[in-house]
Structure 1
Amino acid sequence: MTNWSKSNDVLGSVNRGNAIESGLCTLCRADCQGKCETWLSSLRGREMLYPRDFGLVTAGSGNTTHVGVSYNSLRIQGLNYGATGAVTTDQDLLFTDVNLETSFGAEEKTKCKVPFMTGALGSTFIAAKYWDAFAAGCALVGAPIVVGENVVGVDRESEIKDGRITKAPELERRIDTYMRYYDGYGAIIVQMNVEDTRNGVAEYVAEKYGDKVIIELKWGQGAKNIGGEIEVTSLDYALFLKNRGYLVDPDPAKPEVQEGYKRGAITHFARHSRLGYTDLSSYEQVHDDFMTSVNYLRTLGFKRISLKTGSYGMEALAMAIKFASEANLDLLTMDGSGGGTGMSPWNMMESWGVPSILLHAKAHEYAGHLAAQGKNVVDMSFAGGFAKGSSIFKALAMGAPFTKMICMGRAMMIPGFLGSNIEGVLFPERKDAVCGNWDKLPAAVAKYGETADKIFACYQDVEKKVGKDEMKNVPLGAVGIWCLVDKLSAGLQQIMAGARKFDLEAITRQDIASGNRETEKETGIPFITDVMDETAKRILDM
């Protein structure tokens, strides 16, 4: 396993915990006082693309020797002429001329201002606590956000009668918060697992919101190959969840467990979800069940349907691509191992599933296999450990032309945490409401100022969009998301301009190269000095 550096002297970033390939820590805390690259980017935006202390320094990269197979072992190609996808080539172009708008969908296209979306933010409490920041921020930047599984089932204020939801205040809050700033770009996606399907989430959403919402079926995620989990500390809440039909471990109904809780030996309970398709035993049965589910959702009125799958093996990957394509779904998200979680068994996360780069390479191969037969191929989103513009570009190129979006879970949550903590300090009366964790600004924040318009480099950009009067209602966590997306967008534009690709549709697999022979073998991406080698020799022979 590669040991990634905890600090980056060039950017001035330092990880609180153990660093991983994405630049995040293995354990990301909502109360963190900094300061990884993503954390700083949530304050300073595109400023974090450049070495610090300009005028006093020079900088040079040591990331030129690649061992093993990972997205880091891919190199980005550059050209010294051309401008593919540019609106005009009659004049010199700048990286800001790169267009990042994209869309996905079968019959009805969903437009997005950037090719980024969130992972599924479901029933984990951290998603609920910071949802206002996540939703407002994603809506403002024109990015899709996913309401994850079990949101209704764990909501103590929701009501289920005769096996169907009749009241779902938390789900409604999540959808309505996003729609407040939705301007036609992005989307609100509601994900369903086994329990959600049983409880009638689709029927409730269809009746309440119609086709304003994309409905998503869930097969899995990169972090685990079992159902979703949360942890509760209240015996009453544990009993509520058990009565809702969930597995709660340990069983809160057992007298000995209740006695252990009373004495303090048991302090929390884990709620688990069901596995899907346990009554099926063949490809044909899974196919028929899936198609039946999709057809039923269409009868409810859903025009846009997506599928989320995890880092299962090749059989399940082929099923996901084939079924989603055959059913004419709008998006298929494939989450590789290395993907994040709010709660998953740690040993499982460390050992199970197909790593992202291998999963995504095979996804492209299988999609190409269908396309070569003249068959429809579903639009794709790659997920599993992305947090930097360079990795986003590599993933878009890896899956081109099928990949339209890159899904980020933990990276898109960090600005929500950070902004909420800052808001709680600057406006103490809001601290509890925004779930702030700080009593004062840490030095890494205070160095930029003592007011939001000084701390957040993109504050004025958000204010320009919503107006000064509305700005007081925008969570500072949403401003943080704007800053992070500003950095990711500018970084992606710079890389695309260097590759002479001025539109996302212009990106191809020829824009990346393998940094070692093992990566070439596993991904099908040629080794860097083999790319255009024959062209180079023809030039020399002219």
Structure 2
Amino acid sequence: MLIDLVRVFIRLRAYWAAIRGLRDFISDYPFDEIALKALKGRDAVYPFGEVTSYGSAVLGSGIYEGRGYPRFRTLDDSLILLPPAFTPRRLEKMAELLREPTFMDVNLEGELGGFKVSMPIVVGSMGSTSIASRFSLDIARAAAKAGIVFGIGENVATVRGYSRRYTRGHPSFKERVMAYLTNVDKYGGVIIQQNVEDAYDELWNKVYSDRDLEPYIEEGLVGFEIKMGQGAKPGLGGVIKIPKEEAIRLKAKYHFEVDPEKVKDKFITRYSVPGTYTEDILRGMIRFMRTAYPRARIWIKLGPYRDVDRVISIAHEEGAHAVVIDGKEGGTGMAPSVALKHLGYPTIVGLKKIRDARKLGIKDLSLLIAGRLYNGSHVVKAVALGASGVYMARPFLIAAMVKGEKGVANYIEAVKEETQMLVSALGKYDIKELSDEDIAALDKDVAKMLGIQYVYGDI
């Protein structure tokens, strides 16, 4: 209501200024942004409404809307798939099957980050936010039954409890893990993030020594994910509004803008730090993990950083299993407007980083891309450009909100069918056969950046 009144006030000011001959000046100056900061203070840093919605909404999808948000080149508007007329591999498949093949014959199975998977998509690691927590078990069970990798994000054990629930209606960390692992058949795996605050509680040590998890660790179904960043706010840590009583409980482990015990506010902003890395720290961390947790897969989650090439090289040299690059379109529980606008690069640039790594001969390290990816065309385009798979979270959350576990299962099945159809249309019957011959750019700059053909002619 207050925001609406502010908007009305701003419009009236604009009309009055126009009458006075200042229309152009007003249209170019962000009066509304400044007024909102004057009214809301710190809360105006974030592009949300009431504080109670922080962590309770699906965020990140509106970064192209409104004044001040740049339009990025995307996989949808900059890349196109090019099917051939001559399909020798289809002929080979026909000889193998002794019939004409269909899209349903396309194989999507493979290896991803040390796990056997039914298709190259991953449920990205969602953390402790209210909305991610509420739907976590539905997503976990559906992902396990589909045979795709499932991530558990930072702060879950610390905020929601390791084996018992700290907050009513929110599953504990172990409930999430077991909802997934007890439904796995022959494909899949779970990756577990640990941030600085989780490390205080020795989360990975607890997992690795947990007797209930031991059989799954022995089977190779568990991995640990180093979180070095995320798309919507690279270089920044986690931030969320939480109830005062919860803030008091977590006071010793997190940073708060005020002392929770000394204010009357019902909701307090909680910060978690981004972590500090150098090349030596990352090398040492991977070496330690290989020694301390030899049966766990090692994943690294990055934001859209300028030096991801060095991270990829170190991960490859030190024996990590996967690196994920999250473009700036990636969703988040809570990110400042200024970060959404100005930090990092788009997802399509992350694909260039992956192509650069492949050209350097890095073949056996899984390289995944994330950031506003949600359908079969995104999977096919990413793999054709050298990615091992795609990493996404928001689509699974939306599917669960619509129809619970069944909604997530339906969504996965639809993406699988889209992917198979497109691979088949390209005359191929294993997703691993895709290459840059299958893709072209609709934009000269993108064609030049990615080193692929320009659909309208020579560059």
TM-score, structure 2 as length reference: 0.77
Counterpart Cα distance in 2 of 1:352 and 1:250: 26
Match of 2:224 in 1: 215
State the shift of 1:300 in Å.
Answer: 2.4
With 498-507 and 356-365 compared, the bigger mean Cα shift is at 356-365
Counterpart Cα distance in 2 of 1:148 and 1:512: 33
Conserved in 2, the CA contact under 8 Å of 1:215 and 1:302?
A: no
1:82 aligns with 2:87: yes
Match of 2:401 in 1: 417
Counterpart Cα distance in 2 of 1:86 and 1:246: 60
In the TM superposition, 1:54-69 aligns within 5 A as: 69=73
Cα shift readout 1:466-489 (whole Å, capped 9, x = no counterpart)? xxxxxxxxxxx1211111111111
Match of 1:300 in 2: 292
Match of 2:447 in 1: 520
State the shift of 1:276 in Å.
Answer: 1.6
Match of 1:433 in 2: none
Counterpart Cα distance in 1 of 2:88 and 2:368: 26
Write out the 4+ residue segments of structure 1 that deviate beyond 4 Å after TM superposition.
26-32, 156-159
Match of 2:417 in 1: 490
State the shift of 1:232 in Å.
Answer: 0.8
Cα shift readout 1:29-88 (whole Å, capped 9, x = no counterpart)? 9999xxx9xxxxxxxxxxxxxxxxxxxxxxxxxxxxxx9732121010101122538873
Counterpart Cα distance in 1 of 2:407 and 2:314: 38
1:171 aligned to which of 170, 173, 191: 173
Counterpart Cα distance in 1 of 2:280 and 2:327: 26
In the TM superposition, 1:341-380 aligns within 5 A as: 341-369=332-360, 371=361, 377-380=364-367
1:93 aligned to which of 62, 86, 101: 101
In the TM superposition, 1:2-151 aligns within 5 A as: 69-72=73-76, 73-84=78-89, 88-90=93-95, 91-105=99-113, 109-151=114-156
Counterpart residue identity of residue 267, structure 2: H
SS in structure 1 opposite 2:209?
A: helix
Match of 1:468 in 2: none
Match of 1:59 in 2: none
1:406 aligns with 2:390: yes
Match of 1:329 in 2: 320
Conserved in 2, the CA contact under 8 Å of 1:223 and 1:337?
A: yes
Counterpart residue identity of residue 227, structure 2: K
Q: 1:89–1:346: structure 2 CA closer, same or farther, 3 Å change rule?
A: same
Counterpart Cα distance in 2 of 1:86 and 1:364: 30
In the TM superposition, 1:301-320 aligns within 5 A as: 301-303=293-295, 304-313=297-306, 315=307, 317-320=308-311
Counterpart Cα distance in 1 of 2:415 and 2:55: 21
In the TM superposition, 1:422-433 aligns within 5 A as: none
Counterpart Cα distance in 1 of 2:357 and 2:322: 16
1:154 aligns with 2:163: no
Conserved in 1, the CA contact under 8 Å of 2:327 and 2:370?
A: yes
State the shift of 1:362 in Å.
Answer: 2.3
Conserved in 1, the CA contact under 8 Å of 2:147 and 2:188?
A: yes
Q: 1:330–1:68: structure 2 CA closer, same or farther, 3 Å change rule?
A: closer
With 296-305 and 357-366 compared, the bigger mean Cα shift is at 296-305
Match of 1:387 in 2: 374
State the shift of 1:145 in Å.
Answer: 0.8
Counterpart Cα distance in 1 of 2:72 and 2:248: 47
In the TM superposition, 1:504-515 aligns within 5 A as: 504-515=431-442
Counterpart residue identity of residue 512, structure 1: I
Conserved in 2, the CA contact under 8 Å of 1:121 and 1:148?
A: yes
Cα shift readout 1:303-322 (whole Å, capped 9, x = no counterpart)? 31111111111x2x112211
Q: 1:198–1:83: structure 2 CA closer, same or farther, 3 Å change rule?
A: farther
1:242 aligns with 2:233: no
Counterpart Cα distance in 2 of 1:377 and 1:343: 34
State the shift of 1:142 in Å.
Answer: 0.7
Counterpart Cα distance in 1 of 2:321 and 2:338: 34
RMSD (CA atoms): 2.8
| Higher RCO (CA-CA < 8 Å; seq separation 6+) | 1
Counterpart residue identity of residue 183, structure 1: D
Match of 1:206 in 2: 208
Q: 1:494–1:156: structure 2 CA closer, same or farther, 3 Å change rule?
A: closer
Match of 1:230 in 2: 240
Counterpart Cα distance in 1 of 2:86 and 2:358: 31
Cα shift readout 1:432-458 (whole Å, capped 9, x = no counterpart)? xxxxxxxxxxxxxxxxxxxxxxxxxxx
Counterpart residue identity of residue 246, structure 1: Y
Match of 1:273 in 2: 272
Counterpart Cα distance in 1 of 2:191 and 2:176: 10
Match of 2:27 in 1: none
State the shift of 1:376 in Å.
Answer: 5.8
Q: 1:86–1:300: structure 2 CA closer, same or farther, 3 Å change rule?
A: farther
Counterpart Cα distance in 1 of 2:434 and 2:162: 47
SS in structure 2 opposite 1:197?
A: helix
SS in structure 1 opposite 2:416?
A: helix
Cα shift readout 1:373-404 (whole Å, capped 9, x = no counterpart)? xx6651111111101211221111122xxx22
Counterpart Cα distance in 1 of 2:385 and 2:342: 24
Conserved in 2, the CA contact under 8 Å of 1:122 and 1:148?
A: yes
Match of 2:23 in 1: none
Match of 2:282 in 1: 290
Cα shift readout 1:159-213 (whole Å, capped 9, x = no counterpart)? 9xxxxxxxxx812111111012111211111011122223211111110134241
Conserved in 2, the CA contact under 8 Å of 1:68 and 1:518?
A: no
Match of 2:199 in 1: 197
TM-score, structure 1 as length reference: 0.65
Identity of aligned pairs, percent?
28
Unaligned runs of 5+ in 2: 1-47, 62-70, 165-170
Cα shift readout 1:217-274 (whole Å, capped 9, x = no counterpart)? 11001011211122212x221111112x200223314x3xx2xx2xxxx342121111
Q: 1:514–1:276: structure 2 CA closer, same or farther, 3 Å change rule?
A: same
